[in-house]
């Protein structure tokens, strides 16, 4: 069973997608969140196989969420949904670690297909098999994104240690 976190500020969209996916695909369990902040709290308590999130929401937007996910759950693929898509937005999301960017309205089968591909990709990466199945430019982008996620995570850990220990930063 695949555990999916679906984040969107549109309650009707959340309900429709969750219902359609669970009805059509019995191997998924959907947890929903109405805000990116709530989704991040859920990510802190539970492991998900994939995160699907709207791009434009009150509070944190899609790029902010991608950056937070890179720290909180760096190995979890994030699929971004948007009704306001552009090539620049799509490229920005991909550069910040999104697995895919899908345009709304989107069919639940398209989402499910992206979910299964992202989970397979994640499993291959964890096993170190991805390079055999990945064109070099995509593999390079993934390595760069992974390095950036690790750097962001280390920076956050260092900040938290400094705050906890009361360490002054050199000026």
Cα–Cα distances in angstroms (integers) from residue 23 to residues 2, 18, 84, 110, 133, in the given order? 14, 8, 28, 15, 31
Helices and strands (H and E) in the chain: how many? 7, 5
pLDDT of 30 higher than 70? yes
Provide, rounded to the nearest whole percent, the portion of the chain with pLDDT above 70.
Answer: 85
Judge contact between 97 and 145, C-beta under 8 A.
yes
Sorted by where each starts, the structural domains of the chain and their CATH numbers stand as 2-165 (3.40.50.2300)
Mean pLDDT, residues 24-29 taken together: 82
Work out the percent of the chain whose per-residue pLDDT is above 90: 19
Per-position DSSP letters for 94-131, written without gaps between them: HHTT-SEEEESS--HHHHHHHHHHHHHHHHHHHHT-HH
For residues 23-41, one letter each, b for 16 or more C-beta atoms within 10 angstroms of the residue's C-beta and e for the rest, the string is eebeebebbbbebbbebbe
| pLDDT value, residue 31 | 94
pLDDT digits (tens, 9 = 90+) for 58-73: 888 888 989 888 888 8
| Tokens describing residue 28 | 């998924």
Instruction: Read off the pLDDT of residues 76-133 as tens digits, 9 standing for 90 and up.
Output: 899 999 887 788 888 888 888 898 899 888 887 788 888 888 888 777 776 765 555 4
Name the token pair of 154: 């280390």
In contact, 59 and 72? CB cutoff 8 Å: no
Confidence (pLDDT) at 129: 53
């Amino acid at each position: 069973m695949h555990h999916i976190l679906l984040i969107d500020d549109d309650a009707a969209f959340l309900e429709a997608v969750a219902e359609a996916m669970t009805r059509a695909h019995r191997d998924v369990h959907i947890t929903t969140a109405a805000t990116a902040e709530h989704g991040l709290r859920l990510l802190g308590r539970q492991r998900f196989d994939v995160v699907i999130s709207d791009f434009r929401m009150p509070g944190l937007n899609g790029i902010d969420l991608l950056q937070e996910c890179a720290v909180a759950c760096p190995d979890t693929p994030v699929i971004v949904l948007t009704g306001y898509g552009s090539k620049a937005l799509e490229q920005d999301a991909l550069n910040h670690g999104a697995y895919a960017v899908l345009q709304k309205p989107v069919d639940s089968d398209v989402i499910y297909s992206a979910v299964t591909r992202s989970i397979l990709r994640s499993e291959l990466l964890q096993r170190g098999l991805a390079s055999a199945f990945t064109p070099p430019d995509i593999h390079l982008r993934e390595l760069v994104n992974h390095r950036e996620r690790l750097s962001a995570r280390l920076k956050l850990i260092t900040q938290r240690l400094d705050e906890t220990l009361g360490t002054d930063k050199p000026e």
